A and B are shown apart, each in its own frame.
Chain A
Amino acid sequence: MKLTKTSFGITLLISLASILPNQSAINAQELNLSQISKNIKNTADTTPANNYFSDQMILSEDNNINDQNTVGAIHELPLLTGNINQDINVTVNDLLAENISQDNHDHHNHQDHENHKNTSEPLDKPNQSDDQDHHKSNNSDEENLHLHFHDNAIYSFFLVDKFEYKTENSLHWDAVGWIGGDYQRLWLKIEGGVSLDNRAGEAEIQVLYGKLISPFWDLQLGVRYDQHYGGDHNPGRGFAVLGVRGLAPYFVEIDTALFISHEGDISARFKAEYQLPLSQKLILSPNLETNIAVQEVEEFGIGSGFNNIKLGLRLRYEISRQFAPYIGISWEKLFGDTANFAEAEGENTDHVSGVVGLKFFF
């Protein structure tokens, strides 16, 4: 871009016009151009002898400071200068009410103290409570400042930890979500499965109130509802839940709970999971689950004592932190009467399946 005096003048004119408070289209007559250019010259003249600026500033063709395509665009940032105005407007003086002592000035001046002779009288530090007139020219409601805290905002999270096909020809899912603040959250846990052979399955849903009781542990209280479906007999039952969820040493993720059904049957569950990155994107995740019941509940195929143990090993590839397909294996073994009930239904009591699925969160 070649700069001639005319094009420079026009650029100056147009750009100054656009920045000044001016609701209508560019109108050169509304600008006090001569005053402005005089001001700029004054500033140049008062620039101290030791040169603060580069003697030469070379511009590239494209002057768009926000366009990154041009290498080495603007070298010096755009400049705005307030001039020293020895002739302070009287109304401004009135607004700056309070005097502070010379001693206090010393605390703020990084140089030594003789410099104060250069400052005009009214440049004393005002006291905010005396600044009534000043307030009027700006916001009128400054006396009643309301501080909005941003640190107790509500956030939410929903993780589909497992959404998979098992080689025993079934689908399974396990998801958890929460909404709330830092100390108290509402939790939702859903888990279930369906056989692709006979469309029978079971699903459970838990809705819990969680409260942080120590830096790594959440106490959770709520309800759970189980529903069987697809079979000849589809029972459902509800529970009260008291559980603890958190992070144990060595980064073991724990979720454990005590359940009391609406019939008074007591049971408990323990889940643990671990994340082991093999590389930045490939993560191996072993997990364990076990269920215990105090009373036998034949309708649901639950025996007294240890019901089952599930072990899983899943390997996921994180396409992004939020989305990871995985493969793995899953082993479940049933015990005692739970095993007997299962056998009577023609189900497996000790089986390994391959799994393939997706893990994602939002």
Chain B
Amino acid sequence: MAKITRRNFLQFSTSLGLATGFHQLMPIATQAIGQGKNNINNDPNIIKLSISKTPFRIGKQTGTAVTVNNSLPAPLIRLKEGQLATIQVTNTLKEDTSIHWHGIILPANMDGVPGISFAGIKPNQTFTYEFPVNQAGTYWYHSHSMLQEQEGHLGAMIIDPITPDPFEYDQDYVILLSDWTFENPHSVLAKLKKMPSFYKYKRRTIAHLGEDWAWRGMRMDPVDIADVTGLTYTYLMNGLSPEANFTGIFQPGNKVRLRFINGSAMTFFDVRIPGLSMTVVQVDGQNVQPVTVDEFRIGAAETYDVIVEPQAEAYTIFAETMDRSGYARGTLAIKEGMTAPIPERRKTPVRTMVDMGHDHGDHSNHSQMNHDMPAVDHSQMNHDMPTVDHSQMNHDMPAVDHSQMNHNTTLDTTPVMHGPDHHGLGNAAVPMMVKNRLGEPGIGLENSERKVLVYTDLRSLEPWPDQRKPDRELELHLTGNMERYMWSFDSKKHSESPEIDFYYGERLRLTFVNDTMMEHPIHLHGMWMELDNGAGANKPRKHTLIVKPAEKCSVEINVDAKGKWAFHCHLLYHMHTGMMRTIVVNT
């Protein structure tokens, strides 16, 4: 065993990073070096990345991954705020590739989305990304071509700030979570198209027929949690399976910064470190007022930076999937080779009537509620479902504990009726009631004895300079038809409704209404979404936001980036089957 001190760490790790790929190195094919640039071959400021197919082994099974510099996850790219980033990407695959820098504000032609930002990187071609780095924090990068992100083309990016972080820490680790399947992802998608419930974990049996009766009447499944599950996935932490056990070594008494990144294709993880509370200091790379929690949910593409102060010898870093079909796991320990117990697995949660859009608000009002709802003529709605008999529904929900709620908000969580527009064939059903659910922890985390992070806990460290009221509002419905595994916005796939216009200079209020029964992590390229979570002037900035089933919530966007930007659900197979738009920002 060799010990590396900080002084020669960088020298060592650089060579290590390259040496690790060495014996798996495939010859880089003839590449077209960028023209018009001096010193590009020998300029040490250029980051050089090569995309190729590399064997990838977990335990006894070997598959083929799409890797960057022969490593999965891709190498950590560390930049400094204020620099000019120059990243040269060579494609040695037989198909096009691309790299999108997730969460980075940059020129539209550097955003890396084929067909929107640029033409993509053809086989044997080299593309040089160049953009000024005007932000700091934890981000990540991944392919935006085909299903390569699922094949392992993803990595972490850290941008060190010019002024030091407003929080202290002694050590720093990236915790990059991902999902790996030995199946060809195109075959996974084909199976979802043939049988959307193919990978469903723990389907409902005859034992639950009575409870599920109302669901079945609506052709809905109360355990519709995740489309692709532990039945095919191995969940990785920094590229290592739970058995391989990524280990972060800490020195007792140190504060450790953990940069959690969810680089998965289809997975929501619930992260906790039993025995250790975590202080959330950054979300999506942006400073937030510190909030200490025991557990947080991280959706695909989100990042959370936490500070922990470990006291004991070893802790398990536990990231259980939202549907409880598997977990990613690592260890935080004082020395190599230690492990801590893996916590007891939780049961697959079941959807509630709120997810279905049948929450009629505070239960004390039930007696006053007029279920006939004369204001809305249901007979004219094409509900495609039998009249809902409320008397048979199980409305018993556990008492809401107001003492744990963050009440310093002006967030309106009153349920509102969904409008009459059903949106069409691409939408299986609409929830009757939608409401703001930013203050809820999410399915499977309700009524936890632990403190779970909710979106209403997030407040940006400083108020943003632009506090204009929005100029206009745009409402987008998140829609889907599970029977045909079609996902869309307003019931239209990307191919059916390619573009949405944003106007340069406006402040836009974008309202999401999730008509589906699943959570979607919605991602906007190129611009920040300021989440209207009741924090007023301190709205937190997000590049990716989880919108819960039957939720209606809003973000505000300063439209200050010209060009075309991708906007989509970050669940890879949802994006690929239509849940995407091109945002066009013109003057």
Contacts and interface: CB of A to CB of B under 8 A. Distances in A.
- Interface range on chain B: under 10, 10 to 19, 20 to 34, or 35 or more? 35 or more
A78 B22 contact: no
A249 B48 CA distance: 56
A106 interface: yes
Contacts of B156: 77
Given A119-B134, A216-B428, A145 B119 contact: yes
A72 B245 contact: yes
Of A47, A67, A110, A213, chain B has the most CB atoms within 10 Å of the CB of A110
A104 to B, nearest CB: 5
A197 interface: no
Of B44, B79, B176, B528, chain A has the most CB atoms within 10 Å of the CB of B44
Interface stretch (A16-24, A186-194, A234-242, A257-265): A16-24
A249 B498 contact: no
B428 A108 contact: no
A66 interface: yes
Contact of B19 (A11, A47, A125, A128): A11
A65 B71 contact: yes
Of A79, A85, A136, chain B has the most CB atoms within 10 Å of the CB of A79
Contacts of B580: 151
B44 A249 contact: no
Interface in A18-33: 18-21, 23, 32
B172 interface: yes
A274 to B, nearest CB: 10
Interface stretch (B105-113, B299-307, B410-418, B470-478): B105-113
A44 B118 contact: no
Nearest to B256: A54
A145 B116 contact: yes
- Interface range on chain A: under 10, 10 to 19, 20 to 34, or 35 or more? 35 or more
B128 A71 contact: no
A32 B39 CA distance: 12
B190 to A, nearest CB: 6
Contact of B429 (A79, A212, A215, A321): A215
Contacts of A1: 2
B169 A182 contact: no
B289 interface: no
A190 B44 CA distance: 66
B169 A106 contact: no
B427 A215 contact: yes
B503 to A, nearest CB: 15
Contacts of A124: 132
Interface in A47-89: 47-48, 50-60, 63-85, 88-89
Contacts of A196: none
B134 A105 contact: yes
Interface in B57-114: 57-59, 65, 67, 69-73, 75-87, 90, 105-109, 114
Nearest to B54: A66
B132 A119 contact: yes
Interface string B178-198: 000000000000100111001
A246 to B, nearest CB: 8
A134 B130 contact: yes
Interface stretch (B28-36, B359-367, B449-457): B28-36
B425 A212 contact: yes
A32 to B, nearest CB: 5
A31 to B, nearest CB: 8
B495 A80 contact: no
B205 A278 contact: yes
Contacts of B173: 54, 75-76
A15 interface: yes
A49 to B, nearest CB: 9
A233 interface: no
B105 A108 contact: yes
Interface stretch (B233-241, B394-402, B439-447, B548-556): B233-241
A198 interface: no
A55 B6 contact: yes
Contacts of A14: 19, 22
Given A53-B172, A142-B119, A146-B115, A77 B17 contact: yes
A48 B493 contact: no
Interface string B250-289: 1100000000000000000000000000000000011100
B218 interface: yes
B86 to A, nearest CB: 6
Nearest to A15: B18
Given A71-B244, A142-B118, A182-B484, A151 B494 contact: yes
B386 A68 contact: no
A280 B114 contact: no
Contact of B76 (A77, A119, A214, A361): A77
A79 B173 CA distance: 12
A79 B14 contact: yes
Contact of B83 (A20, A85, A113, A213): A85
Contacts of B385: 249
B577 interface: yes
A3 interface: yes
A4 B189 CA distance: 49
Interface in A294-350: 321
Given A15-B15, A107-B558, A151-B577, A115 B81 contact: yes
B104 to A, nearest CB: 10
Top 10 A-B pairs ranked by shortest CB distance?
A78-B17, A147-B115, A15-B18, A149-B495, A151-B578, A123-B132, A72-B247, A12-B15, A77-B76, A39-B44
21 contacts: A12-B11, A20-B41, A21-B48, A39-B44, A51-B172, A64-B23, A66-B24, A66-B70, A75-B246, A76-B173, A84-B82, A108-B105, A108-B134, A109-B134, A118-B82, A127-B562, A146-B119, A157-B193, A182-B493, A213-B425, A215-B425
Given A11-B15, A72-B331, 18 more contacts: A15-B22, A20-B41, A44-B9, A48-B164, A55-B251, A56-B249, A79-B13, A82-B80, A91-B38, A109-B135, A110-B286, A118-B81, A119-B132, A123-B132, A145-B116, A146-B119, A249-B218, A250-B217
